[in-house]
Chains A and B, each alone.
Chain A
Amino acid sequence: MLSAGLLVLIGFMIVFVFSKAWPSFANNGLAWFGPGGDVDTQLAEIFNSPAESKSYNYTIHVWPMLWSTMLITGGAVILATFISVLSAMFIVEFAPAPVRAVLQPAIRLLAAVPSVIYGLIGLLVIVPFVGNHVITTHQKESVQYVIQLGGSSLIVGIVVLTVMITPIMVAIITDALHSVPRTWTEGAKALGVNRWRALRTVGVRAARPAIVAAAVLATARALGEAIMLSMVAGSSAFAPNPLDGLVFFYEPARTIAATIVDNADGLSVKPFGQTLYAFAAVLLISSAFLSFAGWAARQAMSKYTLGAR
């Protein structure tokens, strides 16, 4: 009854978003995903298109946003995975009891802080720091004809996002390491393998499905993080250019989710709204795809943990 209603609601949501988003895709074809031109100008033109539905302007090429999304999300998840696995190993094996007692609440605190506060601290503390003290004037001048470097940048986005998604991952991975059967770690130690190696080769290996699950969860969270990133990573739809060397990290970047937030006030203008729904549709598909990918990866790994005690 109620649960069935929930189901209907979800189905509705998916269908709805797609139906509203369709014109944007239809008018652009595959070029929707491609590069070409500045996304902000294109958005502005869509916004300004004439009121006749026949002459709506839909042209948009979102590649810069896709690229930024991949960079920020991918970078944060990779970084967070490393940090989480290391922290989990620390908690399970190496942390002295008083340190462990501080670390658990610390992680829960990090998980509880709302994204707007991360954004605030990022914006008021880290961004000026990076803009004034880390990026040199020379670096700013080297790209000044293309983009202004102000501190709101790729690297700040990645770092703050990493801190946001690490706590969830640490919790999951620590649980998994704790539940590795003791006979395995004892067996490894009895072979004359030191604590670190034993944990790394046996414990982490046994916890691989959990690590994958945690990474998928974290990616979903990272993809959807709109507010913090719109505050911290720059408000222009610029595609950071790896050929710029180190400056690459200082260039602004804006993900799909952040773009939706930044442009939310124009939702009532029809073609603009539909373009934004198209963005949302992309996010929706990505989340669904991620859930499926995580499930599939865990199935593949279950071969080696069959019959584990």
Chain B
Amino acid sequence: MSAQTLADRGQRLYTAIRGNESWSIGDRIGVGLAWLAGIGLCLIAAGILGYMLVRGVQYLNVSEVFSSPQPGLDQSETGGFLDPIQGTLIVTILGTAIAAPIGVATAVWLTEYGKPRGLARAVESAVEIVAGTPSIVLAIFGLLVFQQGIFSWFSVTGEGATPLGRSFIIAGSLMALIALPLIVGSTREALYSIPRHVREASYALGKDRASTIRRVLLPASRRGIGTGVVLGMGRIVGDTAIVFILLGATLQFEPEGAVPGWDVLKGTGSTLTTYVYQNSPAGEGGSPEKAYAAAFVLLMIVLVLNFGINLITRERQSMWGR
């Protein structure tokens, strides 16, 4: 490296830092910060993923996935988290099963009918309000409603036959609320992207609106609906507040009543999210290893769900030949 090249490099570095007429120092700092922000986000994401991977692999025994939690003083006796996994599954299925039909129906009504205008706008606002309400508030509301006497057949009853307002059914119903806006949004988008001429062709063939919707539009918007449903499921799986308040804090299933099947739904239990919370120092538990293991499983489920969406949407070719 000759003295000349060194001098050149020094000169260029000097100009790069000091700025010239086209790029002032402020501008260069700005670009530097932009780089910092972008690379920083990448590093944080990598960090979180990496850390969870490391800890998960370190602490996860496959047996834990398949055994139920047991009360016990010694860590080695407290079993695994099969029940919480099942709990997550139940809550997700319940929530999605309730949210999907209502969501799709609402979206269809909003895009295809939408009269009277005032009602349509009110419904839109309502969906937006639900989307913006924190899940903790929804949880409290759920508790309020379901503690009324008429709902006692939904949940665990406490002393004096007053419903405690906690059960899988209740939690599942409220999970439906948080998945709803996502389903409505995706379905509406999918319906909007179907060009007018498709509808007009169907009407020209003599089909009325209801059967057009059923036979033509809904099948065509399957991808959008699917995306919305998976998004909703992702949100349900990751939610802790609703479960915490509405599902009680029992590690295992605590069925209620005598009807098989229904008793589990009426009873309390836990999901992966509350399991992680309980086992962390914030909850009762002093078993961070279990927390890491369960968190790892939870993260994997969420990632699979969310990146599954990419696969769905990537295959979306324009079917309308434009």
Contacts and interface: CB of A to CB of B under 8 A. Distances in A.
Interface stretch (B72-80, B253-261, B291-299): B291-299
Contacts of B45: 106-107, 109-110
Contacts of B245: 261, 264, 267
Interface stretch (A44-52, A82-90, A240-248, A298-306): A82-90
Listed residue (B49, B51, B127, B281) with the most chain A CB atoms within 10 angstroms of its CB: B281
A13 interface: yes
B198 interface: no
A262 B234 CA distance: 25
23 contacts: A3-B105, A3-B110, A6-B123, A106-B41, A106-B42, A109-B306, A110-B44, A113-B238, A113-B299, A114-B237, A116-B298, A117-B299, A120-B295, A124-B280, A124-B281, A163-B44, A194-B22, A196-B23, A227-B241, A261-B244, A280-B137, A287-B132, A288-B129
B285 to A, nearest CB: 12
A117 B52 contact: yes
Interface in A75-129: 83, 86-87, 89-91, 94-95, 99, 102-103, 106-110, 112-117, 119-121, 123-125
Contacts of A149: none
- The 3 A-B residue pairs with the shortest CB-CB distance in the complex, in nearest-first order: A224-B134, A114-B238, A90-B38
Given A99-B38, A264-B245, A2 B51 contact: no
Tell me the dominant secondary structure on chain B's binding face: helix
A28 interface: no
B223 to A, nearest CB: 18
Contacts of A225: 134
Interface of B: 22-23, 27, 30-31, 33-42, 44-46, 48-49, 51-52, 102, 105-106, 109-110, 119, 122-123, 126-130, 132-138, 140-141, 143-145, 158, 164, 180, 234, 237-241, 244-245, 249, 273, 276-277, 280-282, 288, 291-292, 295, 298-299, 302-303, 306-307
A196 B31 contact: yes
Contacts of B119: 3-4, 7
B145 to A, nearest CB: 7
Contacts of A180: none
A202 B143 CA distance: 49
Interface string A4-47: 10110010110011001000000000000000000000000000
A217 to B, nearest CB: 8
A120 B105 contact: no
B210 to A, nearest CB: 13
Contacts of B33: 86
Given A224-B135, A261-B136, A86 B37 contact: yes
Given A106-B45, A114-B273, 7 more contacts: A10-B130, A13-B138, A16-B145, A90-B35, A94-B34, A121-B52, A227-B277
B251 to A, nearest CB: 15
A283 B23 contact: no
A113 B48 contact: yes
Nearest to A220: B132
Contacts of A220: 132, 134
Nearest to A286: B134
A160 B35 CA distance: 21
A4 B110 CA distance: 11
B273 to A, nearest CB: 5
A121 B51 contact: yes
Contacts of B102: 2, 6
A16 B156 CA distance: 22
Contact of B134 (A120, A123, A196, A226): A226
A268 interface: yes
Contacts of B244: 227, 261, 264
A264 B37 CA distance: 38
A158 to B, nearest CB: 15
Interface in A124-173: 124-125, 163, 166, 170
B134 A257 contact: yes
B298 A4 contact: no
Contact of B137 (A83, A116, A268, A283): A283
B287 to A, nearest CB: 12
Contact of A114 (B164, B239, B307): B239
A110 B245 CA distance: 25
A230 interface: yes
B154 to A, nearest CB: 16
